[in-house]
Structure formats: C-alpha cells, structure tokens
Chains A and B, each alone.
Chain A
Amino acid sequence: MTRLDKFAETAMRSLASRTSRRSLFAWLGGTLAGAGAIPVLPVARAAAADHGATVPNPQDPGDPHSCDYWRYCAIDGFLCTCCGGAVNACPPGTEMSPITWIGTCRNPADNRNYIISYNDCCGKAACERCFCANMQGEKPLARTQGNNDTVWCLGTASQSYTCSTAIVVGVATDRKQ
C-alpha cells in the first residue's frame, strides 16, 4: 500500500504541477461555451458516444479510422473503428479482453502523455480492415505488458482475434523521451 500511496501522490502532484486552477476554469468555460454545438437529444448523444468520432473533440484530435491518430502510436492490428466498434468499444457480439497491454502516446492537443490500453475484441473472425502496425515504445515479449505481437484475447470466452481498441486509462507522469 505504501508504494501505491506514493504512486498516487506522485501522480497527483505531477498533475497538479502542470494543471493550474485557472487552466481548469478556462477548460470548463470552453467546454460550457461549446456545449451548445453538441446535440442535446439523448439518442443523438448516445449515438455519438458509441461511434466516438461523430462529434469532434478538439482535445482529442485526428481521425480514429487512420493509423496516424495519436492514440494509435503503438497499436498493432485492425482498428475497431473500421469494424463496427469504436475507438474505445468493441463491435457488437464480440467480447473485450480484460487483460491487455499498454502504450504511452502523446496527445498533440494538450501535449500530455496518456497511458493507452489496447484492449483486443474477441470472438468473431479477424476484421481485416484498417490494419495498423505502430510500435512507439513497444518491447519484446520479455517485457510482457509492453508487447503488441501478442493476441491479447486472454480471459475471454473465445481467443479469436477480431480488432483492437485504444482506450485512455490515465495520464503518464514519467514518460522517458
């Protein structure tokens, strides 16, 4: 627990050191001002959320169907955005692997390094669309959690690989350049 506490403290201090209260208000203000442009119908919002890219978010720039989208800096596989899923959701009928590997990608909009979890979607045939092979920070299998050669369909009912997602799970505080 001591190590965990230390990690949490370091993470929060690091976040706080780079995030002023003023910038939080500026971000909140911008968000609220821009809110009028977002459809308020719950159905429309749900649809947008499901397919991620429908409503552009200036803090999450780029095309999630393209290999050069910032979150995909270390993705290896078929993009779920091209396979009936979303950048952070699996296609219908598949199962998201709870065990996976992580990369660290820099978001060009806010210049933060984010920890990205590349959860595989499993249970259908390989999607075979939008294949990407990006390797930033990728390691050999001896560094298991940093390896993307692996079929990360582990802990799922079927290990048949379908496609890959790229999910923001945190801000990296000590990325080595």
Chain B
Amino acid sequence: MGRGSLIAGLLCALATGAPVLAADFPKPLPVESIPRVLTLPPAYPPTWAFLNSVAGIELLDVAAKSPDHIRGQLGGAPFTSLLTSTTRPEVYAAETFYSRGTRGVRTDVVTIYDTTTLAPKGEIVLSGAHRYLSAPQPNAFRLTGDESFALIFTFTPAAAVKVLDLAGRKVLGEVSIPGCALIYPTGPRGFSTLCGSGTMLTVQLDAAGRAVSQSETTAFNDLTDDPLFSAPARIGPVSYFTSYKGAVQPIDLGGAQPKLLPRWSLVTPQEATANWRPAGWQQAAGGPDGRLYVIMQPGGHDGSHKEGGPEVWVFDPATHAKVGVIKLKSPAQSIALSGGERPLLLAAGAPPNFPLGLGLSTYDPGTGAILNTQPLNFLGGTPVIFPAGR
C-alpha cells in the first residue's frame, strides 16, 4: 500500500467510519461451528500437570506461556481431592456436594473423569458421606499398589478407610483405623497409616477388599518434638518421610509389611545450628533420577514448617550426600518432578497469609535455571502438584 492510498484510506475512514483495511481482505472470516469443545490427547505430554488447590483442580502445561497454559479443569466443589492413574485413561476426584449449595443433604462421591474429555463418565457414591475434608491432602485418597482399589480416608473424627472397586464402580467396605491418619499404599493390595502413638499400622486386603491382616510397627514418629510430615517423597518402593527438624525416615512399602530403613539427617550440624529445615506442604519429591528433592528453609522455628523455603536441596538417598542446591526465584511450598526423559522441577508457592498470588515455576533440575513462571489465580496455598504426562 502506498502512502497516498493510506492517507486516502484514513481520510475515508474518518469520513465514513468504515474499516481502514477492509479492501485488503476481500473474503470475510469463515463461519465457525457451534458448539465446539476441545478434547485432549489420550497420552498427555510430559510437561502437563494437575494442580489441586482448595479451590479446585486445573490441568496445565508447565512449558506454556501464561495465560495460555491452562488445559482444562475438574470438579469445582470446595475441598475436592484428586487421584491420578497410570493404568487407566481416567482421573478421579473425591467431591462433596450439599443438596442446597452449602446446606442440606451431603453427598460424597468419587467422580471418574475421562482423561481426553475431562467429562464425568461414572461415579461411586460414598455411603455415610464422611470423607476427610482438608487442605489438599494427596494421602487421603490413594490407589492400591496394583491400582485395583481406590482407598479414601474418612474422618468424623473417628478414622477409617473406605475401599472402592474402581472397575466395578462400587464401595467394597470400610476398615476402621482408630487413632491413625491418612493412607500410604503398601504392597500390591494393602495400606499403611500413621498413628497418634507414633507407630505405623498396616492393613492387607483380600481380593474382595476385606481386611485380612493387620500389624503395627514400634513407635518411630516423635509427634511432639520432631514429627514427620504427612507427605513423603516416593522413589521406587521407598517412601521418604522428612521431619520438621531435618531428619529423613525412609520406609520400604513395597512388600506386605513396611520396613523401617535407617533414619538419616538432611542437614549437617552447622546447617542444623542455622535451623535449615524441610518446609512446605508437598515439601519433598522423588525424581525419576532416583534423587530426593526437599524444599529447605533457613532459620526454621516452631510454626514455620508450612511456609515453604527458598531452596530445593537434592540428595542421593543411597549415600545421603547433598548433590545439588537449586535456589528458587520465589519460595515454594510444593514441589514435584515432571515425567518424560528430561524431568523438570515444578515448584508452587504463595506468600504466607496471602492466598492470592499463587505461582508455579519450572526449573531445570540439572542447572537450577528457571525456565518458566505461571501465575495461578487460585484461592489458597497448600497446592499439590500431580505430574500428568506420560
């Protein structure tokens, strides 16, 4: 277009109000079909992850630039709890509804969502409607090791675990676990739970979902002075429970009975003096590289254990050696490692006492370089990241 025609066009536009460049687009935009709803690939890319917060569950691509990183959402009821499967094209959400919004008859349901449509394709209604409601707690809703059953923690505050048959879409039964809390899958078809007496109770189930054996360890969890965080990092069959003050208690949950492995410390005596401590919500993560990643906080004190921290320390669990330090751009409460051949460190956090402003950053765990940051406009901290890629 020459300068003359541009001026003419401008004058014409001023005179008539017609679009300036319409003549350059002789054909109008094509008519678009209604309705149109996107679907997702059967196998998610390795950079995809679900993020579970108090306000809901979002599926996002950690490699995409904001605001184009959201891939969809699940549920929507407060205190929804997510469970992902590696063997079925399904994702599960434990949801609670009231017949009159915030009042009326309470219905607890495990909704089975299709991974390609994110639409519900089945549900299991939980009799009693007593599922545990809390800040997102991944260990309140777990699959058994063989993924045949889902286990869901219930709390009135009497504690129990409901056993669900996912294929048959029904509740099989309930196992009472008085004085104990949460679920740690143990062996192909059992679970363990942490008890108020500092022990771990283990229950094995039969093919019908009934409890067939029960055993309890000696006390190893000092709940008064140095308790273990509820969320362990998993590497193979071993769950690594970090303590408030910097110990790590590995427990092999691969067999029918838990094996308490030797306890070791994440911190040197000098670091302990400076009160470097694990901190956060999903404060530790196991990598596909076999490394243990822990959010660490300097100057830790009574009450700082959920604030998160500015660094992620990387350990070789075989030698207990610290093999890396990743300095975060902003403190994280929760971390996870993505799937794929080159796993990424995902770190989510929110400033304390400021629920808005939750963000998710992605780091190269090898170099510690930050690759991406996405704002997550959820209400509430304590996010839980579920890597969803295959």
Which stretch in B110-118, B254-262, B300-308 binds the other chain? B300-308
Which stretch in B2-10, B57-65, B223-231, B324-332 binds the other chain? B223-231
A148-173 residues at the B interface, CB under 8 angstroms: 149-151, 153-154, 157-161
Contact of B305 among A135, A141, A176 (CB under 8 A): A135
B66 located at the interface, meaning its Cβ lies under 8 Å from any Cβ of chain A in the complex = no
The interface residues of chain A, by DSSP majority, are classed as loop
A99 located at the interface, meaning its Cβ lies under 8 Å from any Cβ of chain B in the complex = yes
Known: A136-B303, A140-B223. A131 touches B355 (CB 8 A): yes
Chain A interface category by residue count: 35 or more
Instruction: Report chain A residues within 8 Å CB of B302.
Output: 136-137
Instruction: Determine if B134 and A151 form an interchain contact, defined as CB atoms under 8 angstroms apart.
Output: yes
Quick one: closest B residue to A140, CB to CB?
A: B230
Contact of B353 among A131, A140, A158, A160 (CB under 8 A): A131
Bound complex: CA A99 to CA B355 (Å): 26
A87 located at the interface, meaning its Cβ lies under 8 Å from any Cβ of chain B in the complex = no
Bound complex: CA A150 to CA B78 (Å): 13
A31 located at the interface, meaning its Cβ lies under 8 Å from any Cβ of chain B in the complex = no
Contact of B132 among A73, A143, A150, A176 (CB under 8 A): A150
A124 located at the interface, meaning its Cβ lies under 8 Å from any Cβ of chain B in the complex = yes
Quick one: closest B residue to A150, CB to CB?
A: B134
B80 located at the interface, meaning its Cβ lies under 8 Å from any Cβ of chain A in the complex = no
Q: Smallest distance from the beta carbon of B106 to chain A beta carbons, Å?
A: 6
Bound complex: CA A140 to CA B137 (Å): 11
Quick one: closest B residue to A131, CB to CB?
A: B355
Instruction: Determine if A154 and B102 form an interchain contact, defined as CB atoms under 8 angstroms apart.
Output: no
Bound complex: CA A141 to CA B154 (Å): 13
Q: Smallest distance from the beta carbon of B242 to chain A beta carbons, Å?
A: 11
B175 located at the interface, meaning its Cβ lies under 8 Å from any Cβ of chain A in the complex = no
Bound complex: CA A136 to CA B381 (Å): 17
Bound complex: CA A115 to CA B352 (Å): 24
26 of the cross-chain contacts (CB-CB < 8 Å) are A74-B303, A123-B103, A125-B102, A128-B379, A131-B354, A131-B355, A131-B380, A133-B306, A133-B353, A135-B306, A135-B307, A138-B303, A139-B223, A139-B227, A140-B181, A140-B227, A140-B230, A141-B182, A142-B181, A142-B182, A143-B223, A144-B157, A154-B155, A154-B157, A158-B98, A160-B103
Instruction: Give residues in A with beta carbon < 8 Å to B.
Output: 67, 73-74, 76, 99, 123-126, 128, 131-144, 149-151, 153-154, 157-161, 176
Instruction: Give residues in B with beta carbon < 8 Å to A.
Output: 78-79, 96, 98, 101-104, 106, 132-135, 137, 155-157, 159, 179-182, 194-196, 198, 221, 223-224, 227-230, 302-307, 352-355, 379-382
